[in-house]
Amino acid sequence: MKNMMKIFMVGFVFVVFTGCATTGPKFMELSQQHTQIPSNTGRIYFYRTAILGAALQPDVKVNGDPVGSAVPNGFFYVDLKPGNYEIMTSTEVDRKLSLTMEKAQTRYVRLNVSMGFFVGHVYPELIDPDEGKKDMQNLHYTGKES
């Protein structure tokens, strides 16, 4: 019985840690390629630094449309026309953030984790650009390949 428990624990630890592995270029590498923001749009970077609740990776939606997932140690971005937007994540409850995007503006939204009743919650928070850039330095790109 003890051997079965050891095998189970080793397998569990393997699954947990390999499930947390994030691949893709780091933010620094991607920013060196200097991906340009298309004219007449702005950009929102979404990122998650927290490993806490690593299995919890809800979709991130902008105005109801999925744009990515809240992956630990990962980031992605979307380019949007100027206007008002609602960012939402859903776990036990919906967590929302409203913001206005202007032409050529870059915004940073950190996807934080807090404890919930049954599972954790991932909630979006608008972050100052200097803090956002600093937070993202060692995160990996998890967005769609272009």
Per-residue pLDDT tens digits for 32-82: 565 788 889 999 999 999 788 888 899 999 999 999 999 999 999 999 999
Q: How far is CA 30 from CA 34, 46, 114, 136, 141, in A?
A: 7, 14, 29, 11, 8
Helix (H) or strand (E) holding 12: helix 2-20
Pairing of β 74-80 and β 106-114: unpaired
Q: What is the pLDDT of residue 123?
A: 94
Q: What is the pLDDT of residue 91?
A: 84
Could you state, in order of their start, the residue ranges of all structural domains in the chain? Answer: 2-141
Mean residue pLDDT of the chain comes to 82
The burial of 115, by beta-carbon neighbours within 10 Å (0-12 exposed, 13-18 middle, 19 or more buried), is given as exposed
